[in-house]
Amino acid sequence: MVTGSCLCGGIQYQITGQLKKIQICHCQQCRKAQGSAFAANLPVNVEEFTITKGEGLLREFESETRAGKYRVFCSCCGSAIISRLDSAPDVVRLRAGTLNEPIDSEVTLHQFVAHKAGWWDINDELPQHDEYPPK
């Protein structure tokens, strides 16, 4: 089991099961939501993700550019916790920076690099995709 929390600790969660690989997203929405050059996202099956404290602190923002996409964050400290899609109800995309413990999951790819911050250079050999990676 792996645990995580928001910055203020008001929201806490746990994940059971094997963690998937981390995906780095450089789209403008992820950059703005994170206040950084990218978001480090970890797909998690909904049945393996449980909010253990602070569910009432969660707030959702529906994307203005993609109907049915929600960013879920702590209403107290503003930490981004997950995003979710109406079209993929069995999976959430966890913000890897909210994990409490070190994990052995590795970063697998960069997506939306056509939209990356101009002041950030990608300095690794991971696959890069201008938009979504092919399935």
Please give the share of the chain, as a percent, with pLDDT higher than 70.
100
Q: For position 93, which CATH number holds?
A: 2.170.150.70
- In terms of phi and psi (left: phi > 0; alpha: psi -120 to 50; beta: otherwise), the region of 77 is alpha
78, part of any domain: yes
pLDDT at 46: 97
The model's pLDDT over 48-73, given as tens digits with 9 standing for 90+, comes to: 999 999 999 999 999 888 899 999 99
CA 133 to chain centre: 16
pTM here is: 0.91
127, part of any domain: no
Alpha-carbon distance 95 to 92, whole Å? 10
Whether 3 shows a pLDDT value over 90: the answer reads yes
Burial class (CB in 10 A: 0-12, 13-18, 19+), 62: exposed
The model's pLDDT over 42-51, given as tens digits with 9 standing for 90+, comes to: 999 999 999 9
Domain boundaries, position 23: 2-118
The total number of structural domains that make up the chain: 1
131, part of any domain: no
110, part of any domain: yes
76, part of any domain: yes
